[in-house]
């Protein structure tokens, strides 16, 4: 699945995303709304991880959906 598909199916995926990254709040998800760069930035900020690690994690997770 590519990032465009994730954006198109955001509402369906939101629950799974919240389950994977519970630290990010509902309001933060509404701001993100499936935008890849913002999602990566939120992961970096909330989990204190480098951008490359956040990208790998997001990519690996998105492949399962």
Q: Where are the domains of the chain?
A: 3-63
Q: What is the DSSP letter of 7?
A: H
- Which whole number is the average pLDDT over 38-42? 85
Cα dihedral value 19, 37, 2, 28, nearest 10: 30
The widest CA-to-CA distance across the chain, in whole angstroms, is 28
How many Å from the N-terminal Cα to the C-terminal Cα in the chain?
Answer: 7
45 — pLDDT class (breaks 50, 70, 90):
confident
63 — pLDDT class (breaks 50, 70, 90):
confident
What is the reported pTM?
A: 0.54
Protein fold of 3-63: Protein Yjbj; Chain: A; (1.10.1470)
């Amino acid at each position: 699945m590519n990032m465009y598909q994730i954006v198109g199916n955001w509402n369906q995926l939101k629950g799974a995303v919240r389950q994977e990254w519970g630290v990010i709040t509902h309001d933060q998800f509404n701001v993100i709304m499936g935008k890849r760069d913002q999602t990566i930035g939120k992961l970096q900020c909330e989990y204190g991880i480098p951008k490359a690690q956040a990208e790998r994690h997001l990519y690996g997770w998105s492949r399962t959906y």
